[in-house]
Amino acid sequence: MEHVKPLPGDESVPVHPDHDPRHPLVVFGDHRFCAGETLVVHRMAGPHMHSQIELNFVLSGTMTYWFDGRELTVDEGRLCLFWGMIPHQVIDRQEGTRFVCLYVPMSVFLGLANLSRFRDAVFRGAMIEALEIRSYDRDIFMRWREELLAGDADLTEIVRNELTARVLRVEREGWRDLREEGSAIASLTANDSERAEHVERMLRFIAEHALDPISADDVGRDAGLHPNYAMSIFKRAVGHTINQAIVRHRLDTAQSLLISTDLSVTDIAFESGFGSASRFYEAFADRFREKPISFRRRMRAKGVVQA
* Domain boundaries of the chain, sorted by first residue: 26-177
pLDDT in tens, 40-60: 999 987 788 887 899 999 999
How much is the average pLDDT of 111-127? Answer: 75
Instruction: Sort strands 26-28 and 48-50 into parallel, antiparallel or unpaired.
Output: parallel
Q: What is the rounded distance in angstroms from the CA atom of residue 30 to the CA atom of residue 306?
A: 23
What does the pLDDT read at residue 83?
Answer: 87
pTM of the predicted protein model = 0.63
What does the pLDDT read at residue 283?
Answer: 94
What does the pLDDT read at residue 115?
Answer: 67
| 304 confidence band (pLDDT: 50, 70, 90) | low
> Residues 37, 42, 48, 54: what is their CA dihedral angle, to the nearest 10 degrees?
50
pLDDT in tens, 58-107: 999 999 998 877 889 999 999 999 988 888 889 999 999 999 999 988 77
CB atoms within 10 A of CB 33: 20
Q: What is the rounded distance in angstroms from the CA atom of residue 128 to the CA atom of residue 32?
A: 21
| 127 confidence band (pLDDT: 50, 70, 90) | very high
* pLDDT(278) > 90: yes
Q: What is the rounded distance in angstroms from the CA atom of residue 63 to the CA atom of residue 61?
A: 7
How much is the average pLDDT of 113-125? Answer: 74
Measured in residues, the chain has a length of: 307
C-beta of residue 118 within 8 angstroms of C-beta of residue 164: no
Q: What is the CATH number of domain 26-177?
A: 2.60.120.280
- The helix (H) or strand (E) run that includes residue 159 is helix 153-173
> Residues 125, 55, 17, 198: what is their CA dihedral angle, to the nearest 10 degrees?
-60
* pLDDT(228) > 80: yes
Q: Using alpha carbons, select from 245, 205, 208, 251 the residue that is nearest to residue 87.
A: 251
